[in-house]
Amino acid sequence: MKRLRSLVRILLVPLFSLTLTGAGPGVESRPPATAAAKIAAPRQIAIDLDRAIGVKLPAITADLAPTRFRTADGREGWLVRIPGARPIATPAFWQGRLFVGGGYGSHEFYAFDAATGAVAWKIKTSDDGPTAAVVEDGCVAFNTESCTVMVLDAQTGRTLWQEWLGDPLMSQPAISRGRLYMSYPGNPRGPQVQMMQGTAGPKVSAPPGREDERGWSHRLLCAELRTGRHLWVRAIPAEVITAPVIEGEKVFLTCFDGSSLCLSAADGRILWQKNNGATSAPVVAAGQVVLTEKQTYGGEVREGIRRVTVEAGAARDTALLAAGKAEYLRAGRGGSTALSEAHLKQLDASVGFGTAPASAGLAKAAEHLNVGTVAGGWAYQGSRVAYRGGSILNAQGQYLNCVRASDGRVAWRAQARGRGVDGNAQLFAPPALGRLNLYACTAQGHVLAVRQKDGALLFAYALGTPMAFQPALAGGSLFAGTSNGMLVCLKTGDPDADGWHAWGGNAQHNKGD
């Protein structure tokens, strides 16, 4: 018995002698504290992707023709091949339809019936590369990489208005309270609007935003959703990571240079701005702003979660939470998105970019986020967090993390393992959240669900087709675009798979409780 007690002490002391900001290989630890030493270590979970149920997707004989499939354990779904075999961004759901672009380099945008996959309508865009869309008040909004923001009638696909903003556009728009927010590169040509025949009222543009004395390269536009009328334009440091985030009457955003900003939604005034090494779009929840940050410790690149105050952007944590190695962010390493560097360069070449144009401002992005191509900026989402029921959840590299929003404690951490899993690459796209479960896609073509409260794996399927973007959830189904031009629906049979209707969950990109 004495030998047994000694063995237990040997095993337990390392777990309780450090205040942990994460767990597992390469996870940062802080100096021990008396009170914190009594806190149990996070639950460790292994997800073996080699044991995922293989799904043999049926052969597709025609573009845009829905094809049904069935998994070995009885779940059903459908898939549609979109012409061009390009990466497909997160679809948006609204009133039984899915809205999705034809991918980077395409000139098509589609509405599909969410139940069957049948095409409801499609349009041809004037410029290429539709981003993920957002839908609100019967309007569907998106932008093309080159170089236009568009607002359509969601029922018919009729264009309400469109505006040339600048080349390239690598982020998505956001909608809140009848206003659209969109970033673009500052340029001497300036925005040029085109109103569609039959739209009410002339376009009245406000004066262009002032040229910032700090040399900030990009602008954030706020326009009326239905008319395109400019309300304000504000200079910002660099291109926005993925999309602006709206909470109430504040706009939160992070930029490719690592800066974070909070603006007044009413007039664009900058309320605070921080240079904090941000690596993903923020989330505003539980009275705080949550984002991921990059830091370098003795030459080792690391990424973790940071909580900051809404009022001033002041850090609430002395160290990054759930931090771990992040070689995918090291300049020149590749792997910061679920698309390979060769694939990204091929996509850029297909639209005429031998190298990224200076207007993209990617020199800062290449150094900070390892993003050196326009296609890479278009696809980059980082380790963006989501929030539900007091928990902050995200995916970093090959890990899924759950952190308590109240005190920053790591509740559990799941590590994905299996053939081809590279700890130096970004395996997961950002997860989507139901009420109880987390749903995620991988660069290797897996779709999985885990329980939010404890990280228990509920299902995992290997579809064999890589996925680079966050999925959407509606009516018990998961919807995801693949990296080779397919739209996939998996009918989970669980009503929990619902309520995550766009990238970030909603038109404000800030879905929570």
pLDDT for the residue numbered 191: 53
When pLDDT is cut at 50, 70 and 90, the band that residue 172 belongs to is: very high
The pLDDT assigned to 423 comes to: 85
- Rounded alpha-carbon distances, angstroms, from residue 457 to 49, 52, 423, 450, 468: 11, 10, 20, 4, 21
Mean pLDDT taken over the chain: 88
Quick one: pLDDT at residue 214? 72
Confidence at residue 25, expressed as pLDDT on a 0 to 100 scale: 30
Find the helix or strand (DSSP H, E) in which 348 lies.
Answer: helix 341-350
Which range of 18-27, 190-199, 239-248 scores highest in mean pLDDT? It is 239-248
Using the predicted structure, report yes or no on whether residue 194 has a pLDDT greater than 90.
no
Helices marked H in 212-293: none
Structure confidence at residue 208 as a pLDDT band (50, 70, 90): very low
Among 25, 43, 56, 90, smallest CA distance to 429 is for 90
Mean pLDDT of all residues in 109-132: 96
pLDDT of residue 513: 87
- Rounded to the nearest 5°, which phi and psi values hold at 416? -80, 135
Q: Tell me whether strands 300-309 and 67-70 are parallel, antiparallel or unpaired.
A: unpaired
Model confidence at 475: pLDDT above 60: yes
Q: Tell me: the pLDDT tens digits for 60-110?
A: 999 999 999 999 999 999 999 999 999 999 999 999 999 999 999 999 999
Mean pLDDT on 314-339 = 90
Q: Which residue has the higher pLDDT, 21 or 195?
A: 195
User: Which long-range CB contacts under 8 A does 345-350 form with residues at least 24 apart?
Assistant: 345/373, 345/375, 347/86, 347/87, 347/104, 347/105, 347/373, 347/375, 348/373, 348/374, 348/375, 350/105
Cα distance between residue 68 and residue 314, in whole Å: 50
Stronger pLDDT, 387 or 201, i.e. the higher one: 387
**Residue 26 above 90 pLDDT?**
no
Structure tokens at 82: 């979109």
Task: With cut-offs at 50, 70 and 90, classify the pLDDT of residue 187.
Answer: low
Report, in this order, helix, strand and coil percent for the chain, each rounded to 5: 10, 40, 50
319 versus 5: which is more confidently predicted?
319
Give 122's DSSP letter.
E
Prediction pTM value:
0.89
**What pLDDT, on the 0 to 100 scale, is given for residue 204?**
38
End-to-end CA distance of the chain: 49
C-alpha span between 161 and 180 (Å, rounded): 12
Q: How confident is the model at residue 39 (pLDDT cuts 50, 70, 90)?
A: low
Residue range 384-428, pLDDT digits in tens: 999 999 999 999 999 999 999 999 999 999 999 999 998 889 999
Mind listing the pLDDT tens digit for each residue in 340-390?
889 999 999 999 998 889 999 999 999 999 999 999 999 999 999 999 999
Structure tokens at 272: 């605070």
Percent of the chain with pLDDT over 70: 87
Q: What is the pLDDT of residue 284?
A: 98
Strands in 386-388's sheet, in edge-to-edge order, are 43-48, 410-417, 399-404, 391-396, 386-388
pLDDT (average), residues 136-143: 98
